[in-house]
Amino acid sequence: MPYTLYPTVDDLLQPALLSRLTGQPIDHVETAAMHAFYNKSGSQLFTVETNHGQGPRLVLKRVSPAWDWQMRITTDIHCRSVALWQYGIFDRLPAEVDAAVIACARDGDGWAILMRDVGPDMMPYAPFTPEDNETFLEAMAAIHAAFLDCPDLAAGSLGLCTLRQVYTLFGPETGHQEPDDDVPRRVLEGWVLFPEVVPRDVADVVLELVHNPDPLCRALSRFPHTLAHGDWRHANQGLDRRHQPPKTILLDWQLAAFAPPVIDLARYLETNSALLPGSKEETIALYRRALARRLGPRFSDEWWQPQLELGLLGGFVQDGWAIALKATRWHITAHQRPHWQADLQWWSEQVRQGVKWL
């Protein structure tokens, strides 16, 4: 059964309701604006303290196309993070995964998402241990296996990203459409730089798909689809170590898509590249083994290998702008320039491998 959205934020934050939602008596609620460095979409975050700091600590996220450029670019008229809660998809996540969402409400023309405060459990920008890396990949495989070819995910009420939206979100047109936001400006800067830092044959393929990803989308549409989170990066990943093995916390489902599994794997490899404990090939092999084990006879190299190679090509279409900047001029990764320069070479080779499937 779908959940009912609470009509307003004030209704959502009533002490009586919070007492019921948290299972603890609450008689006082205070909110305060908070800043999260990695919150780049424009959404607004607030801490929710209860019982003068002695009760459960929560986080309220307010989202609206009015201030969230990613929602505007991906035509997110239902708020994917809310819809996944409202229609029970979060309840169906495997036991290895926690979305941390408690309840949601309308918020004028937007939405509000109430979550447990899992801040202490979130990953810092620091190298993953081999054990943590494997835990994340097991969780990713668990989601993908649980929802493989699930017809419910095609429902218009969820409004999940299409493949085209996945590959145009970080395209040059976004920079032109959203010039007032920092990330879209960076996106445009990165794509202008891109042909200067990769081989000509790679630039030709990637830039053509950046401007028109339809051939890539058609090629990937032939393979099994699943629930893709869409933004597997350390800032959205956490580990609840009160469970053994630790449970993966996965926040911010605004870019969730109905797409082949490799969409998440490619994003994980790019955004977490400098944090991985081993090579990308080792990470791919870990994920492949986990997915194959969970799918059993439904897994086949006949679809795995081509969707992998196409999806890795797509990873450069999605994030080539960022890798180009990190390898050359982005100040926040200046100490890791050699790593990102090597990444340019690695992803360029994936383009050469994947283009044959278009």
Q: Which residues contact 73 (CB under 8 A, 6 or more apart)?
A: 165, 168, 169, 174, 177, 178
Closest by Cα among 229, 213, 211, 100 to 160: 229
Is the sign of the CA dihedral 115, 117, 121, 123 positive or negative? positive
Question: Model-level pTM?
Answer: 0.95
| Domains observed in the chain | 9-119 (3.30.200), 126-357 (3.90.1200)
Q: Which residues contact 267 (CB under 8 A, 6 or more apart)?
A: 230, 231, 232, 233, 315, 318, 319
What integer pLDDT is reported at residue 111 of this predicted model? 97
Question: Could you tell me the strand order of the sheet in which 29-34 lies?
Answer: 29-34, 44-50, 58-63, 110-116, 101-107
pLDDT beneath 70, residues of the chain: 1, 36-42
What integer pLDDT is reported at residue 332 of this predicted model? 79
Per-residue pLDDT of 5-39, as tens digits, reads: 999 999 999 999 999 999 999 999 999 998 765 55
What integer pLDDT is reported at residue 36 of this predicted model? 62
How far apart, in whole angstroms, are the C-alpha atoms of residue 151 and residue 148? 9
What integer pLDDT is reported at residue 38 of this predicted model? 53
CA distances from 8 to 62, 78, 105 (A): 11, 16, 6
Per-residue pLDDT of 299-325, as tens digits, reads: 999 999 999 999 999 999 999 999 999
